[in-house]
Amino acid sequence: MKKKTKIILAIAAGIPACFLIVMTLYLVIMYEPDLEASFETGNPESDARVLIASSGSSFKQELIREIAAALQDSRIRVIPLGELEKVQPGEYNGILVMTSCEMYKIDSDAAGFLEKHAPGDNLALLITSGNGEWNTDKYGIDTVTGASEPEQKDRLIREAVARLKSFLE
Using CA atoms of 157, 159, 162, 166 in order, give the dihedral in degrees to the nearest 10.
-130
pLDDT tens string, the chain, 169 residues long: the values are: 677 777 777 787 777 766 767 666 555 555 555 556 789 999 999 999 999 999 878 888 999 999 999 999 999 999 999 999 999 999 999 999 998 877 777 888 989 998 888 777 899 988 887 665 666 666 666 677 777 888 889 999 999 999 999 999 8
Domain match, 27 and 89 both:
no
Domain match, 43 and 27 both:
no
Domain match, 105 and 158 both:
yes
| Number of domains the chain contains | 2
Domain match, 14 and 52 both:
no
- Cα 152 from Cα 128, distance rounded (Å): 10
Domain match, 47 and 25 both:
no
Range of the domain at 100: 39-168
The CATH number of the domain holding residue 80 is 3.40.50.360
Domain match, 70 and 144 both:
yes
This prediction's pTM: 0.77
